Amino acid sequence: MKFLAEEFDVAVIGAGHAGIEAALASARLGCKTGVFTINMDAVGNCPCNPSIGGTAKGHLVREIDALGGEMGKAADECFLQSRMLNRGKGPAVHSLRAQIDRRAYSTRMKHTLELQNNLELRQAEIISVEKTDDGFWLLTTRLEAQYRAKAVILATGTYLGGKIYVGDVSYESGPDGMFPAKYLPDSLEKLGMSLRRFKTGTPARVLRSSIDFDGLEQQSGDDPVVPFSYDTEKPGENKVKCYVSWTNDETKKVILENISRSPMYSGKIEGIGPRYCPSIEDKIVRFSDKPRHQLFIEPCGLDTEEMYIQGMSSSLPEDVQLKFYHTIRGLENCIVMRPAYAIEYFCADPLQMNRTLEFRQFPGLYGAGQFNGSSGYEEAAAQGLVAGINAALKIKGREPMILDRASSYTGTLIDDLVTKGCNDPYRMMTSRSEYRLILRQDNADTRLTPIGRKIGLISDERWARFNAKQERIRKELDRVKNTVLSPTEELNAILAEKNTSAVKTGIRLIDLLKRPELDYSCLAPVDNTREEKDPGVLEQVEIQIKYEGYINRQLAIIEQVRKLESKLLPEDIDYSAIDGLRLEAREKLTKVRPESIGQASRISGVSPADISVLIIYLSSLRNRKAAGEDKQ
């Protein structure tokens, strides 16, 4: 018999990476929060690769931390190996990536939820979500307990209607053999929500002792280690090595001979898979002219012998998997502990949401993570944080937090989802941002910590450290502007060694640092007045100096774009009644309901001519309104 168990301000369905950040943010902002998970042991689970960060994803983790989220701190505590990717390129694409201890990370996150004030963690499968007549949301569990909440955040990951595929075998399941959320999809569709099927996959795990590491390329971590969190003062040390191998002609032959047994190619899988992280059979077919594909052999933890084979997700039958893994150098005799599988699941069309991640049709209902059509732990955590913050702010009667594209990768991610939608699982990449020189991972705190402080997620201690760092950056910039170095033999010897022109008169230190060949390190022997030693401060100063012209140009563009963002569109606007709009534009604008001219301009199918029509319409609307007020 159904019974009312408890009332919450915010209820979070799912305790993966999105659900964790959503629940912690809500609770820390003073809302009584309940977070529900199908299995308590799956809190913070990494069912695919146990790694945090990577290209563009490292930016998201830094932004989560700058706003007051938890992922960066947990990754710093649980990492096995840390590397900065893309060091050979400019600072805009430098991205931190850490291989983490899967079980340690999950345990750490679960304990964090358990210790958090205002937060209750429950093991329960939510089977229905309904809106009550008094404006609350009513959640019902499979055991018939009911919970009332003012706001609900859906962070169901790949559990929602989950179905596993391995060759001809398929069965209902969540990731890692967990129960799926079987009944909730029907409830959401009954509510009127638009759902669709996506698919993702995960590679096999193999026994460490069955791998022949001789001859494999080793990947070591960086020294010193760069932490994700601005709160981490003393990062740990690298504990493991990772390895690289490659597919070959024999691998390709085995896969192509058995391609008809893949549920992707036999038509059994209906869900759309990730474009930028395809299965190995998809790589072999799509890139048939490529002689080999890279794969990475990475540990899952210190207390397990499981090794993860990154880059080889598959839904081929288990016997075929064994055959093609055994063709690969180092894996000739490997023992597969967990076969690879594909998982198909329900997710929502994000075009139904606004930039707070609230459903326009269902006030108080929010979506986050893979439920919104994205892929990746970091994308999920960033959305969870935004959804949790906005749910709490709405309940508190405060203004929402909306991050625009010029403020963050998080803002870009959300704007892409709710404005452009996604036809396959969305993955964050640096190329998705038109402002990536501004949105570097090294300055995430400068961009977002003031926002986190205003919201209430940044402590007094951290705020004091942030302001002290900003002051040291300003002080060091002043010093390099006012420090003049004499044209000594020692200085010119350094310049000659770095293949840059000598100086005959005194030169400001800032003008030397502007040269691409020079940096703080090589100029140290002649820079006798520098007291600042913090590498984070010096990095900020050097980047600001070297890229000043580019940064200023991008800031000017941002200012122009924000003028369009400030031109707000009425919520009740009837696009079908606006003369001059093309039919496609009317349909797309009606579906997305953009908040501003700027957002409207990014909708696929809305042309510059349509934007001109909207601007003229807004102007005439203001004129009519002004004329009406004058008459009054």
Query: How far apart are the C-alpha atoms of 340 and 313, rounded to whole Å?
Result: 6
| Predicted confidence (pLDDT) per residue in 102-113, tens digit | 999 999 999 999
CA separation for the pair 42, 54 (Å, rounded) = 23
Is 140 strand, coil or helix? strand
Could you give the domains of the chain? Answer: 1-458 (3.50.50.60), 462-554 (1.10.10.1800), 566-631 (1.10.150.570)
Which is nearest to 391 in space by CA: 362, 421, 415, 350?
362
pLDDT-based confidence at 618, cuts 50/70/90? confident
Mean pLDDT of the chain: 94
Compute the distance between CA of residue 579 and CA of residue 310 in angstroms, rounded to an integer.
Answer: 53
Between 431 and 12, residue with greater pLDDT: 12
Residues 6+ apart with CB under 8 A from 613: 578, 579, 580, 581
Q: Quote the percentage of the chain above a pLDDT of 70.
A: 99
Cβ contact 214:75 at 8 Å: no
pLDDT tens-digit profile of 79-129? 999 999 998 898 989 999 999 999 999 999 999 999 999 999 999 999 999
Q: Which residue has the tokens 């839904």?
A: 315
**Cα dihedral: 563, 554, 449, 20 (round 10):** 90
Long-range contact set of residues 289-295: C-beta below 8 Å, sequence gap at least 24: 291/248, 291/249, 292/246, 292/247, 292/248, 293/246, 293/247, 294/244, 294/245, 294/246, 295/244, 295/245, 295/246, 295/247, 295/328
* Residues in a beta bridge with 358: 366
Q: Residue 575: which of 613, 608, 625, 622 has the closest Cα?
A: 613
- Rounded Cα distance between 208 and 573, Å, is 61
Which pLDDT band, with edges at 50, 70 and 90, does 566 fall under? confident
**What percent of the chain lies above the pLDDT cut of 90?**
81
Residue 480 has pLDDT above 90, yes or no: yes
User: Look-up: residue for tokens 């893979």?
Assistant: 370
Helix orientation angle between 17-28 and 102-115, rounded to the nearest 10 degrees: 30
What mean pLDDT comes out for the span 251-271? 87
**pLDDT at residue 476 tops 70:** yes
Q: Report DSSP letters for 544-578, one per residue.
A: HHHTHHHHHHHHHHHHHHHHHHTSBPPTT--GGG-
Least confident of 291-300, 510-519, 527-536, 564-573: 564-573
CB atoms within 10 A of CB 591: 15
Per-residue DSSP letter, 500: -
597-615 pLDDT tens trace: 989 989 988 888 888 888 8
pLDDT tens column, 307-329: 999 999 999 999 999 999 999 99
The whole-angstrom separation of Cα 91 and Cα 510 is: 19
- pLDDT per position as a tens digit, 177-189: 999 999 999 999 9
Model confidence at 446: pLDDT above 80: yes
Q: 376 by DSSP, 3-state: which?
A: coil
Burial (CB count <10 Å: 0-12, 13-18, 19+), residue 233: exposed
Using one digit for the tens of pLDDT, what is the confidence trace for 513-558? Answer: 999 999 999 999 999 999 999 999 999 999 999 999 989 999 888 8
User: What is the sign of the dihedral through the CA atoms of 218, 219, 225 and 228?
Assistant: negative
Average pLDDT over residues 231-240: 93
Can you tell me which residue has the tokens 């006798």? 528
* Predicted local distance difference test score (pLDDT) of residue 631: 55
pLDDT of residue 540: 94
Higher pLDDT, residue 558 or 460: 460
pLDDT of res. 628 = 66
Summarize pLDDT for 390-433 with one digit per residue, the tens.
999 999 999 999 999 999 999 999 999 999 999 999 999 999 99
H-type alpha helices, 346-456: 377-395, 409-415, 444-455
Q: Strands 365-367, 145-154: parallel, antiparallel or unpaired by DSSP?
A: parallel
